[in-house]
Amino acid sequence: MAYDEKLANRVRELLLKKRSVEEKKMMGGLTFMVNTKMCIGILNDNLMARIDPEVYESALERKGCREMDFTGRPLKGFVFIDPEGTKSNKDLEYWVNLALAYNKRAKASRKK
């Protein structure tokens, strides 16, 4: 299993009322694209969130959060949250809302 299906279902529930949500399997996991921009993802049992680089450092201080180092280098503005940081619905909702707030201002990837 490349991603935690229970976590994916919890994220789906939080995104239910959002328009323009598309799920894509990528990077060996599942990514939720909002308004054609990468917003939230799941890799194994970790949540990935694309957040405002301005709140990046303070986000790293939260329970279960760490730098996203998928490529071997940290990507500023992307974080992984381990299961400890998404255990409660309140914690998961925090991360999803943080990613959605930044999604409105985030730049979309260039089309190939």
Number of neighbouring beta carbons within 10 Å of residue 52? 15
> Which residues does residue 25 pair with via DSSP β-bridges, in sequence order?
30
Tell me which residue has tokens 């490529």.
71
This prediction has a pTM of 0.91
**DSSP conformation letters of 31-74:** EEEETTEEEEEEEBTEEEEE--GGGHHHHTTSTTEEE--TTSS-
The pLDDT tens digits of the residues spanning 2-19 come to: 899 999 999 999 998 888
Checking if the pLDDT of 1 tops 80, the result is: no
Per the CB < 8 A criterion, the answer to whether 72 and 103 are in contact is no
Question: What CA–CA distance (Å, rounded) separates 92 from 12?
Answer: 11
> Domains (ranges, CATH) in the chain?
5-103 (3.90.1150.30)
Q: What is the pLDDT of residue 3?
A: 93
- Which residue from 65, 103, 66 is spatially nearest to 86, judged by alpha carbons? 65
Q: What is the pLDDT of residue 76?
A: 84
The pLDDT tens digits of the residues spanning 32-88 come to: 999 999 999 999 999 999 999 999 999 999 999 999 986 788 888 999 999 999 999
